[in-house]
């Protein structure tokens, strides 16, 4: 037994085997084989496995987004069944005595070039499809599995770190917790762990080696401790802590159905952050009052091409209906910076956090923006949907957004497609310029929601993804809190409400400060709802608010 140390970023204790994330991609190496028939069978087995995976993805997509949104997976199955494609790979394996992975990659390139050279736009688009199905087959041949986890039991998932496009495709039912060698407290691995309500530890460094694969471990997401092959004393200590946490959760469960109201009667909206329709289950299980942030970009990250209007509509409609009339705030596309989708073909930027991202992409690619807005407005007929726009810096951006929204609404009226004429429009306050202009911005929208991760990043000039900058990334910094206060004052002067949808909203050490500042809504991970409710119900805002404000201004 020995212990390695990292930084805990999502509390909780988990015990289970360590499993390293299998990442696909990379160069396919050509190797000679002596048994071509065995190699052809290996290809056929992989092809059949891919067919089964695509069939399962099709069924899942039909349930979530409807048949039109699932059509891509059906088309991929048909391509995998194409005799020219199959024969081409088998002929190359047999004729050159080479490994199946290399044959698949070469035939994929040939087919992709053939499709790309055709005059028909539909056929040109198939070039990406044949590459995608071939990547899937190569991944299976190479031991890379769909969902990233090939295990019969749930595991503690280990990796260097995980990109947003990787986290969205994980088989979350098999994850007990996360451990990563790199990352930061604001990485998407950490955010996913907090959404799932499972422990996570980052920054373990070189001590996290693949030699730990399969070893029994217990991790403590509060302290950052990772016990490898724990002895009896360590197991008893950590499992006792796990039992205490479960008992506390059972106690907090008694708050379900209670109001988020302070001792002096002030009500606070407590909503949840989600990334997909699947995340509605923990929202309902934890008694969330609504959705304060639906990160719609994950619909884009899990696709190989732009998601269609119908696909998006079905996803938004599903969430709206399942929330039963509670407010569902959907953030428009926030691609860029650390969230990349290859088919956007964004230029490589030296400082992507300052570059073409979020609303800047939407305003420079209006056809992509309008497709999403049409889906959002259509879904508004099925629940209380509100739309939120990220990375706002100027009033003209909001006015342009509203002009585009008016055009989309006019189109839907002309097509006699039902939608809610009074959808709330809000903006994210996550840049210093948005704070400084919040008096004018508040007159243009129905609500503000503060993204504290980015606001802290831009205010303190600290990269939120920086592995070695955690001690400088201080979301409690007086400058950040003063900006929150300024935005709240200007929101209320204009008669609109203001919330926080960043990770900071779940920090109960700041809950009383947020209420003193004037925050009306807190949107947090589902697992944080009941602890936050408990904190709110213990606060009397008439007692300390003025002192908190005085201290904030005097720091």
260 is in an annotated binding site: no
pLDDT confidence tier of residue 285, bands split at 50, 70 and 90: very high
Instruction: Please tell me which residue in 272, 362, 405, 501 is annotated as part of the active site.
Output: 501
Q: Are residues 140 and 158 in the same domain?
A: no
Going by C-alpha positions, the residue among 7, 4, 302 that lies closest to residue 183 is 7
Query: What's 209's domain CATH number?
Result: 3.50.30.10
Domain limits at 9?
2-22+147-251
Q: Is the pLDDT of residue 466 over 70?
A: no
Q: Are residues 232 and 313 in the same domain?
A: no
Going by C-alpha positions, the residue among 435, 456, 454, 483 that lies closest to residue 353 is 454
266 is in an annotated binding site: no
pLDDT confidence tier of residue 147, bands split at 50, 70 and 90: low
DSSP string, 27-74: PPPP-B-S-HHHHHHHHHHHHHHHHHHHHHHHHHHHHHHHHHHHHHHH
Tokens 């302070």 sit on residue: 262
430 is in an annotated binding site: yes
How many whole angstroms separate alpha carbon 4 and alpha carbon 201?
11
Q: Is residue 166 part of a domain?
A: yes
How many whole angstroms separate alpha carbon 16 and alpha carbon 479?
42
For the stretch 150-183, pLDDT in tens is: 788 999 999 988 876 677 678 888 999 999 998 7
Residues 548 and 269: beta-carbon distance below 8 Å = no
Give the DSSP H/E element, type plus range, for residue 328. Answer: strand 328-331
Query: What's 63's domain CATH number?
Result: 1.10.274.10
Last residue of one domain, picked from the residues 220, 251, 282:
251
464 is in an annotated binding site: yes
**227 beta partners:** 3, 218
* Termini Cα distance of the chain: 47
Q: Are residues 161 and 233 in the same domain?
A: yes
Q: Are residues 140 and 151 in the same domain?
A: no
Q: Are residues 175 and 270 in the same domain?
A: no
Structure-token pair, residue 382 = 């099925």
Beta strands in 490-548 (DSSP E): 497-500, 521-524
Measured CA to CA in angstroms, residue 299 lies from 83, 130, 150, 379 at distances of 32, 21, 24, 15
Instruction: Please tell me which residue in 76, 188, 272, 405 is annotated as part of the active site.
Output: 188
453 is in an annotated binding site: yes
How many whole angstroms separate alpha carbon 40 and alpha carbon 116?
28
Q: Is residue 31 part of a domain?
A: no
Q: Are residues 453 and 537 in the same domain?
A: yes
333: DSSP letter: -
Tokens 């009941």 sit on residue: 530
Overall domain count for the chain: 3
Query: What's 534's domain CATH number?
Result: 3.20.20.60
How many whole angstroms separate alpha carbon 535 and alpha carbon 541?
12
Going by C-alpha positions, the residue among 20, 70, 363, 48 that lies closest to residue 215 is 20
Q: Are residues 115 and 167 in the same domain?
A: no
Q: Is residue 343 part of a domain?
A: yes
Q: Is the pLDDT of residue 384 over 80?
A: yes
Which residues lie below 8 Å from residue 384, measured CB to CB, with a gap of 6+? 290, 320, 323, 325, 326, 327, 328
Put residue 68 in one of left, alpha, beta given phi > 0 → left and psi -120 to 50 → alpha: alpha
Q: Is residue 257 part of a domain?
A: no
Q: Are residues 7 and 102 in the same domain?
A: no
Q: Are residues 322 and 437 in the same domain?
A: yes
Q: Are residues 100 and 165 in the same domain?
A: no
Measured CA to CA in angstroms, residue 479 lies from 242, 455, 456, 457 at distances of 37, 10, 9, 12
Grouping H, G, I as helix, E, B as strand and the rest as coil, residue 7 is: strand
Q: Are residues 453 and 305 in the same domain?
A: yes
Phi, psi (degrees; rounded to nearest 5) at 407: -65, -40
Structure-token pair, residue 400 = 């342009």
Q: Is 405 a catalytic residue?
A: no
Is pTM beyond 0.85? Reply is no
For the stretch 253-264, pLDDT in tens is: 999 999 999 999
For the stretch 12-38, pLDDT in tens is: 999 999 999 877 656 788 999 999 999
Q: Are residues 198 and 233 in the same domain?
A: yes
What average pLDDT does range 454-474 have in this prediction?
80
133 burial (CB, 10 Å; 0-12 / 13-18 / 19+) is: buried
Q: Is the pLDDT of residue 66 over 70?
A: no
- Order of strands, sheet of 225-228, starting from the edge strand that comes earlier in the sequence: 2-5, 225-228, 216-220, 13-20, 155-159, 175-180, 200-202, 7-10
The percentage of the chain sitting over the pLDDT mark of 90, rounded to a whole number, equals 63
295 is in an annotated binding site: yes
Q: Is 476 a catalytic residue?
A: no
């Amino acid at each position: 037994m020995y212990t390695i140390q990292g930084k805990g970023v999502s509390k909780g204790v988990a015990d289970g085997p360590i499993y390293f994330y299998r990442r696909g991609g990379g160069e396919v190496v050509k190797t000679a084989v002596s048994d071509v028939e065995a190699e052809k069978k290996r290809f056929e087995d992989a092809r059949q496995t891919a067919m089964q995976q695509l069939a399962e993805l099709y069924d899942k997509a039909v349930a979530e987004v409807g048949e039109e949104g699932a059509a891509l997976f059906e088309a991929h199955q048909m391509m995998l069944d194409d005799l020219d494609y199959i024969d081409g790979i088998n002929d190359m394996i047999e004729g050159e005595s080479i490994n199946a992975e290399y044959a698949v990659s070469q035939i994929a390139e040939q087919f992709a070039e053939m499709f790309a050279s055709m005059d028909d736009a539909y056929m040109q688009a198939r070039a990406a499809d044949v590459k995608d199905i071939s990547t899937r087959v190569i991944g299976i041949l190479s031991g890379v599995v769909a969902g990233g986890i090939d295990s019969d039991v749930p595991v503690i998932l280990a990796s260097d770190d995980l990109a947003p496009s990787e986290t969205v495709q994980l088989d979350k039912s098999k994850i007990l917790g996360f451990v990563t060698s790199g990352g930061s407290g604001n990485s998407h691995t950490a955010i996913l762990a907090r959404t799932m309500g499972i422990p996570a530890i980052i920054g373990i460094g070189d001590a996290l080696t693949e030699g730990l694969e399969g070893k029994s471990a217990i991790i403590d997401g509060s302290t950052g401790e990772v016990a490898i092959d724990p002895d009896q004393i360590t197991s008893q200590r950590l499992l006792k802590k796990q039992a205490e946490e479960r008992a506390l959760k059972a106690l907090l469960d008694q708050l379900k159905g209670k109001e988020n109201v302070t001792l002096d009667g002030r009500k606070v909206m407590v909503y949840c952050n989600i990334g997909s329709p699947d995340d509605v289950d923990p929202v309902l299980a934890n008694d969330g009052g609504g959705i304060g942030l639906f990160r719609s970009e994950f619909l884009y990250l899990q696709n190989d091409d732009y998601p269609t209007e119908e696909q998006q509509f079905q996803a938004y409609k599903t969430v709206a209906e399942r929330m039963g009339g509670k407010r569902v705030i959907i953030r428009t596309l926030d691609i860029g910076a650390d969230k990349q989708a290859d088919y956007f073909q964004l230029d490589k930027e030296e400082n992507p956090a300052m570059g073409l991202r979020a609303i800047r992409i939407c305003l420079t690619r209006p056809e992509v923006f309008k497709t999403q807005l049409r889906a959002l407005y259509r879904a508004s007929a099925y629940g209380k949907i509100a739309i939120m726009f990220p990375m706002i810096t100027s009033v003209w951006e909001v006015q342009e957004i509203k002009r585009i929204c008016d055009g989309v609404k006019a189109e839907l009226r002309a097509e006699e497609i039902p939608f809610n004429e009074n959808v709330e429009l809000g903006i994210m306050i996550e840049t210093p310029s948005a704070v400084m202009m919040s008096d004018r911005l508040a007159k243009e929208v129905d609500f503000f929601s503060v993204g504290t991760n980015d606001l802290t990043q831009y205010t303190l000039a600290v990269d939120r993804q920086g592995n070695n900058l955690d001690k400088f990334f201080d979301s409690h910094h007086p400058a950040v809190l003063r900006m929150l206060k300024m935005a709240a004052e200007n929101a209320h002067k204009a008669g609109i409400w203001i919330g926080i949808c960043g990770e900071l909203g779940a920090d109960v050490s700041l809950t009383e400060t947020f209420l003193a500042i004037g925050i009306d809504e807190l949107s947090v991970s589902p697992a944080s709802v009941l602890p936050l409710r408990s904190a709110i119900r213990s606060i009397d805002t008439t007692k300390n608010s003025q002192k908190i404000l005085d201290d904030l201004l005097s720091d």
